[in-house]
Structure 1
Amino acid sequence: MIFTIGVLSFVIITIVIGIVVSRKVTDVEDYYVSGRNASTILIAGSLIASFFSTVAFMGEAGDAYLGYPLIMLLLSSIDVSGYVIGAIFFGRYIRRSRALTLPQYFGERFNSKRVRRLSAITTIIGMGAYLVSVTQGISLLVSNLLEIDFIYALLIVWTTYTLLTFLSGAKGVLLTDTIMYFVFTVATFISIPFILKKVGGWPEAISKTAHDLVNQPNILDWHGITGEGAFHGMPHEALIWAIILGLAWTCVLAISPWQTSRYLMAKNEHVILRSAVVATISVISIYIILFITMATVNLINPSIDPPEMVFIWSAKNFVPTFIGVVVISGIMAAGLSSASTFLQLIGNSLANDIFNLDKQIRKGRPTTTLRMSKLLMLMSGVVVLIITIFPPPAVLWIGFFAATIFAASWAVVGFTSIHSKRVNEKSAFWGMLLGLVGIVGGELFSFFIYPLPVYLEPVLIGVILSVVGVIYGVRTGEATSEEKDYLKKLLTAPRNLFDRKEIKVTNRFANALIIFGFIIIGFTFFYYYYPVNIY
């Protein structure tokens, strides 16, 4: 009963926040980009919260429980570099564009309607699929806690994040993302010691997990479980998979719309750089304790079904009730924050880049634009609701597929749009299109015809085809004067970038990241290596 009350209370609080913040939304810039004055904590909170959806706390946690904690940690250790890489080489330039959406940026950068619409379609497909995944995850959680049918849980979840996004737009999403970031971060770090204590305590629990699990040998080896019936048959296949997906997710964090769109809302470029550092530190800190600890739950219960519920099951059975409520609310917070972000991006791209409602702003009709944007946002939500009802839950697979669409379709075009003078409209269009066709075609082939080997991951096929498309465009076309002028504007640094006080503060964040690197090495040695190899 206490878990039911906790979840319902959290839903009510989320809706109330949306109603309160909606009163402060006065124009399109507020609704789309929160007035472009967000602080470091708001940007960092939104980056982390929109990333740590149910894909992390349910899908990836379930994968760690099934036997792959270290390989998931390896993947994550690679991909978190995307925050800093993206902020330095892409995000800060995007803010200079003053665009309302990422597709608008691509359209203006290449002076092309077809590039803008193609990137908008990619956004809608990718974010739509990811939203389905996240909605499934939260609905499974609510269904399990309230002991109600999945459909009713889905309606509760959908209504919550749709109302929040519909009413308050980017302002509400930024605020709730940050609140939710603190909730699930505190919940994770408080609950882990209780879970470890129940399964035997540190270092005994980790040592026993590594050496005593007969049904899951090698679970804490770097490659996880291998052999017949395992997800990865051989250790080298696990390594190749982690590296390819890790690099793909590096591109996702660096350039995907639900991450880099946060930079459009930042107060200045120093905020972008600082928030990337905070996100890097926060994400890897949570992952390292979450994955290894979820593997130890096998000592008590090796048959949690579905495995995505492992963290939730642990919160209900291993930790004090109040903390368990906070943990489950935190997981729900992560899911709702991601869902609201994804729905916002879908609605914004549909309104701004497919129906070109930004023309209404230029005609002096901002109220009409805001009203239509909200209507299209609601319609997008209804479509997602209908789609989510039918497919069986596949939280991790759908989430990974949806996110890596942007690595395949956008990464090459995005980075070259800033750092190449030769890339042009033709390059951008064919690079995006071939990347999208490559990953979608690869996934369909692997699913319906024949599973592709690990070294031919669909995202890798997409990236290679995207490179081919960009090279083709460079060889057969030229950048126009409009494209060159726009690039020149992007490369012109704002004055506040050289403010000495701002630089001094930003340098402190950079130094903190360096120090954190040494701390995490030491922590990993004592938390993991010592129990497994020395104790």
Structure 2
Amino acid sequence: MPVLLLQLCAFGAYTLALVFLAGQAFSWKEDRRLFYVGGNRLRPGPMVGTFVATWMSAASILGYTMWLYTDGYVAFTGSVNGWLIGLVLMPFLVRKLRMSRALSLPQWLGDTFEDPRLRVLSALSLLGAYTFYIVIQFRAFGTIVGALLDIKILLASSLVYLFVLYTTFGGLPSVAKSDVLNLAIITGGVALAALTLLNRAGSFSAVHEALRQTAPAMLHPWNQEWSPLVTLLMMLSWGLGVAANPQYAIRLLSARTARDAYTTLALSALIIGSIYVGLTIIGLASFVLLPGVSAPSDELAFTDLVQSVLPPLPALGLFLAVLASAVSTANSQLLLAACSLCYDLSPREGRGRADLVAEDRFLFKNRLAIAFIATVALFLSQLRLPGILLIGRYSWTVVAICFFLPLYVIRRPRRKELFFPLAAALLLHLFLTVVLGILPELALLPALALEGLLYFSPWRSLR
């Protein structure tokens, strides 16, 4: 079978499966609780599927693999270790979050501190951050599909745009159903590609030995560009950002019971760890087999590299894994961004459930908001923007400033005393990154330090 025909068949099969699974989750009797948090009754199977599939974004698969290919184990030290630190912290959230009946993290923040300004500020931050993070998924998907099918990137990006719209229109139940498929594709594609490369390279020990002879710096956890201090600070920042990310917290809220939430975290840790092992093998073995691949962007370099070092079938499996990760992450963040726009930033809608007619109108507005935000992200994905990993770093650091201290550090919230420290921290982060050009994850730590200092200081009453 010609390679192009094989790619078209695989892409068509994925499309049909996605439409079928997501369509099963559409409900005739919807309300906002079902739409946003699955009615707080998701079972462990769909929970694990949507948690891990959302975790493994295009930035995780494509961005981490190419960083590993370029810099070696410094990528593992700075990113994967940090991401797993964030996962280890998440069990401490379960009890705190499940005591609330909130439908969003901005609502939880505003209710906990009895300050509606916090809800508005955090919702605006989340809306902006997630809109740009969706751009990552559209760019990665569009570049890969465009290269595979020899079509314009805009047309290819429009395909993921339609996938994301369809799966998000059904709310979290639809997202969770489709993510079970996405997770299966991600794990299968990464495993097949890793095993194929190991077979070509000989073994993982052989890969290390080849690197020791040709590029020994890649085996060290830091190098001249990424010093130990910078790498460790980056690792810590990644951990704090992941731990406070609302897209994971909202899934803990959506679980049927607290036990299901803990079970999800335990199983997810095993699956996530195995996927990162596979991606590490792919990045290092690819360098051994074909060093020096370069392109105008990480997405194009990844496409060229995979097609060069893998046979057609494993290469197709890895490409499908990136596509599945793009869809699963984009629909999750799109749902949260629409919630911020329609629920948290609208005082009338944020008061609670209305009658059935009003509820239908509210959900219709949400679907319009989903289409609007996705369209903006699609447009932005066609512009000249920084690399996909850098966009993600800006996005999650802003979210971490809003939610890390309230979720993990502040045990006894004081009424209306967090708004000024939070606003000051966001402004400081903006100044450090935009004006001074400091890496966003390095700017996160002083921003969080300022937020904590202002909140816990003796002069906290000055607002």
TM-score by length of structure 2 reads: 0.90
Partners of 2:143 and 2:435 lie apart in 1 by 29
Question: Which amino acid is 1:279 matched to?
Answer: S
- C-alpha deviations, 1:259-302, integer Å up to 9, x for none? 11111110111111121122222222222342243123123322
Match of 1:336 in 2: 327
Question: How many residues align structurally?
Answer: 455
- The structure having more radius of gyration, on CA atoms, is 1
Partners of 1:435 and 1:40 lie apart in 2 by 37
Match of 2:37 in 1: 33
What displacement does 1:353 show? Answer: 0.3
Match of 1:437 in 2: 427
Match of 2:68 in 1: 64
Which shifted more, 102-111 or 77-86? 77-86
SS in 2 for 1:426: coil
Q: Equivalences for 1:207-286 in 2 at 5 Å?
A: 207-213=209-215, 217-224=216-223, 226=224, 231-232=225-226, 237=227, 239-286=228-275
Structure 2 CA distance for partners of 1:127 and 1:91, relative to 1, 3 Å: farther
Please tell me whether the aligned partners of residues 44 and 261 of structure 2 are also in contact (alpha carbons under 8 angstroms). Answer: yes
Partners of 2:87 and 2:309 lie apart in 1 by 34
- C-alpha deviations, 1:202-261, integer Å up to 9, x for none? 432321122224xxx41122225x3xxxx43xxxx2x22232222222222222111111
Match of 1:22 in 2: 26
CA RMSD of aligned residues (A): 2.5
Partners of 2:29 and 2:286 lie apart in 1 by 45
Question: Which amino acid is 2:450 matched to?
Answer: L
Match of 2:167 in 1: 164
Partners of 1:250 and 1:299 lie apart in 2 by 30
Please tell me whether the aligned partners of residues 86 and 238 of structure 2 are also in contact (alpha carbons under 8 angstroms). Answer: yes
Structure 2 CA distance for partners of 1:201 and 1:84, relative to 1, 3 Å: closer
What displacement does 1:120 show? Answer: 0.5
Please tell me whether the aligned partners of residues 192 and 317 of structure 2 are also in contact (alpha carbons under 8 angstroms). Answer: no
Q: Equivalences for 1:72-151 in 2 at 5 Å?
A: 72-73=76-77, 75-88=79-92, 90-151=93-154
What displacement does 1:187 show? Answer: 1.8
Asked whether 1:462 is paired with 2:447, we answer yes
1:42 to 46, 54, 79: 46
What displacement does 1:408 show? Answer: 2.6
What displacement does 1:392 show? Answer: 3.4
Asked whether 1:424 is paired with 2:409, we answer no
SS in 1 for 2:154: helix
Please tell me whether the aligned partners of residues 67 and 75 of structure 2 are also in contact (alpha carbons under 8 angstroms). Answer: no
Partners of 2:145 and 2:69 lie apart in 1 by 21
Please tell me whether the aligned partners of residues 351 and 372 of structure 1 are also in contact (alpha carbons under 8 angstroms). Answer: yes
For structure 1, which runs of at least 5 residues remain unmatched after alignment?
479-535
Partners of 1:474 and 1:39 lie apart in 2 by 46
Structure 2 CA distance for partners of 1:331 and 1:281, relative to 1, 3 Å: same
Match of 1:178 in 2: 180
Please tell me whether the aligned partners of residues 33 and 264 of structure 1 are also in contact (alpha carbons under 8 angstroms). Answer: yes
Question: Which amino acid is 2:447 matched to?
Answer: G
Which shifted more, 23-32 or 389-398? 23-32
- C-alpha deviations, 1:111-165, integer Å up to 9, x for none? 2211111111111111112111222112111112112122111211212112221
Partners of 1:259 and 1:371 lie apart in 2 by 25
Structure 2 CA distance for partners of 1:117 and 1:101, relative to 1, 3 Å: same
What displacement does 1:358 show? Answer: 3.5
Match of 1:521 in 2: none
Partners of 2:300 and 2:268 lie apart in 1 by 25
Question: Which amino acid is 1:426 matched to?
Answer: K
Please tell me whether the aligned partners of residues 409 and 466 of structure 1 are also in contact (alpha carbons under 8 angstroms). Answer: no
Please tell me whether the aligned partners of residues 38 and 267 of structure 1 are also in contact (alpha carbons under 8 angstroms). Answer: yes
Structure 2 CA distance for partners of 1:329 and 1:25, relative to 1, 3 Å: farther
